[in-house]
Structure 1
C-alpha cells in the first residue's frame, strides 16, 4: 500500500514519470515548467492531499479542501481559496469523466500560495493481507500532510527489503501512531480501536469515522502500544486507495476477518462520489 509518487510536465513526460504512472503535472492551471519543478525540488516546504478520482468525481471533497485550508493557515497564516482549488483540479481533469490518482500540493514560492496538481494512474488496494514492520519513528507535525517524508520513506524502503508491505510508526515508549502512508484500525473482538498518539487524520479514516456509528461500529480511541498488539483479533489499514487487512505485524499473525473487512469497506463505499 504505497503513495503515488513522481513528477513530470504535461505533454513532456519523461520515462521515469511514465514508469511511475504520472500522466500530468500542472502548476497554477498551466503545464509545469522546469523552473516550477526546480523550486519544488530544492525546497521541502509544502503540504498536499491525495485522492482517487472515478468518473471525474472524488469522495469527501470537503474533507480534502478543509485539510488544504487548515494546513495553509498553520504553515503560512494565509487563507487558501477552496474555489480556486476546485478550478485547478477541474482544469487538470480536462472536463473529462476520467479515473486517476490525484494529488494537490500547496507551496509558497515568491510569497504567494501556488497549487500544483498531478494526475497518475488510478490505484486500488488488493485483497491480500499485508505484512507490517514496526519502526522507531514518528512524523513531526504529524497532523499535517506535509512534504517532510524522508523518515517514513526510508524506513519503508528498509522494511520492503525484508518483504514487508508497510511500516507502523511508533514512539520511544512503543506507542503506536499510524502507518507510513496509512491509518491503522485495531479490532479487539468487540469494538474498533483507534490509537491516540499524534497522527495524520487521513481522509479515508475521517470519512469512515463519520459512517461507522450508523453501522454499529463506533470506534473508541485509546493508547495502543506494541505490547498490546497480541491482544487484538484483527488489524486494518486505510488510505486513499481503500481499506485492507493486516496479516502480520513483526512476526505476530492475524486472522483475516473477512466479514468485518466487508463491513468497513461498505461504510466507505457508501460515501458518495462528488463533483470537484
Structure 2
C-alpha cells in the first residue's frame, strides 16, 4: 500500500457528474474526518455512531453504518496512510461520499488563537457549510494568529474553529461546556487522562477565566497541539502536561477500517 493520492468516491464508485450536483449546490449535510495509519483509524465506532445519529436527526432515516464502513474501506483499498473524510448527503436518497487525501500532521509549533464571537448552528453536529467558523479562522490568520477561538454571546468559550480546546490549571484539565462539537479525539482522550495522572472535568469557561489557567491545548483527529497564546493571554508551554497528554493519546487503540 502507498501514501494517499486524492480520491473521491460516491457510494463506493467513481462519481458521475450528476452525483456532484447536490454537494456542489448545497451545504446541507454532515461528515466525519479521521486519520488512517497503516490501514487503521482511531475511534471507528464513534465515527460511525456520529454519522448515524446526525443522519437520523437531519432526515429521520437510518444509516447503514456497515455499508458506510465498506465504502470507506473500498476508497482506501490500496492506501496505508491518509486523511479520510466521510460525507453524508440526502438529495433524494442517502449518498455517501468518501474523500481520501494525503495524511495530515499536527502543527509544528504551538498555536496562537484569537477569540471571535460566533455560535455554530446545531453545534453538536459535524455539519457541512462551515462558512462562519472558516471566516473567523481566516480573519484570525490575517491578524497574525493561527486559528480562531469561538465564544458565545455570553463570553463562554465553545471550541476552536476546527479543534476542541482544553485548559489546564496545574492539576486538572477543563473542557468547556458551551455548545460545541464533541470531537472524537476529545472523546477518546478525556477518559484516559486520569490514568496519565491528570484529572479531567467539564465546566463553563469564560474569556475572563483564561488568565487563571496555566496552559491550554487543542485536539482533533490530527493530534494534540499546545496553545501559546489566546488574545493577549500568554501560556508557557508545559512539557510535563504535553508529555502526559501524548502518553494518554498513545493508549488509544487503532481499529481496522
TM-score range, shorter chain: over 0.9
Q: TM-score, normalised by structure 1?
A: 0.89
Deviation at 1:97, TM superposition (A): 5.0
- 1:55 positional shift: 0.9
RMSD across aligned C-alpha pairs, in angstroms?
1.2
1:102 equivalent in structure 2? 84
Q: Find the counterpart in structure 2 of residue 11 from structure 1.
A: none
Quick check: 2:195–2:248 contact (8 Å CA) kept in 1? no
- Tell me how far 1:252 sits from its aligned partner: 1.5
1:197 paired with 2:175, answer no
User: Which one of the candidate residues 32, 40, 54 is aligned to 1:57?
Assistant: 40
The 5 A counterparts of 1:109-258 are 109-110=91-92, 112-258=93-239
Partners in 2 of 1:249 and 1:128 — Cα distance?
15
Q: Distance in 2 between matches of 1:224 and 1:196?
A: 7
Structure 1 gap ranges (5+): 1-20
- Are the aligned partners of 1:57 and 1:97 in contact in 2 as well (CA < 8 Å)? no
Tell me the CA shift for residue 189 of structure 1. 1.3
Q: CA deviation at 1:78?
A: 1.1
Checking the alignment, whether the CA contact within 8 Å between 2:138 and 2:147 is kept in structure 1 is no
Alignment of 1:83-102 (within 5 A): 83-94=66-77, 96-102=78-84
* Aligned-residue offset at 1:58: 0.5
Offset at residue 255 of structure 1 (A): 0.3
**2:214, 2:207 → 1: CA distance?**
14
The gaps in structure 2 that reach 5 residues or longer are none
Give the SS at the match of 2:6. Answer: strand
Give the number of equivalent residue pairs.
254
Distance in 2 between residues matched to 1:146 and 1:126, nearest whole Å: 24
Structure 2 counterpart of 1:75: 58
Q: In the alignment, which residue of structure 2 is the partner of 1:10?
A: none
Deviation at 1:33, TM superposition (A): 2.1
Query: Deviations along 1:3-30, whole A, 9 cap, x unmatched?
Result: xxxxxxxxxxxxxxxxxx9600000011
Please give the TM-score of this superposition, normalised by the length of structure 2: 0.96
SS of the residue aligned with 2:159? Answer: strand
2:72 aligns to what SS in structure 1?
Answer: helix
Contact 1:54–1:97 (Cα < 8 Å) also in 2: no
CA contact (8 A) 2:113 2:145 kept: yes
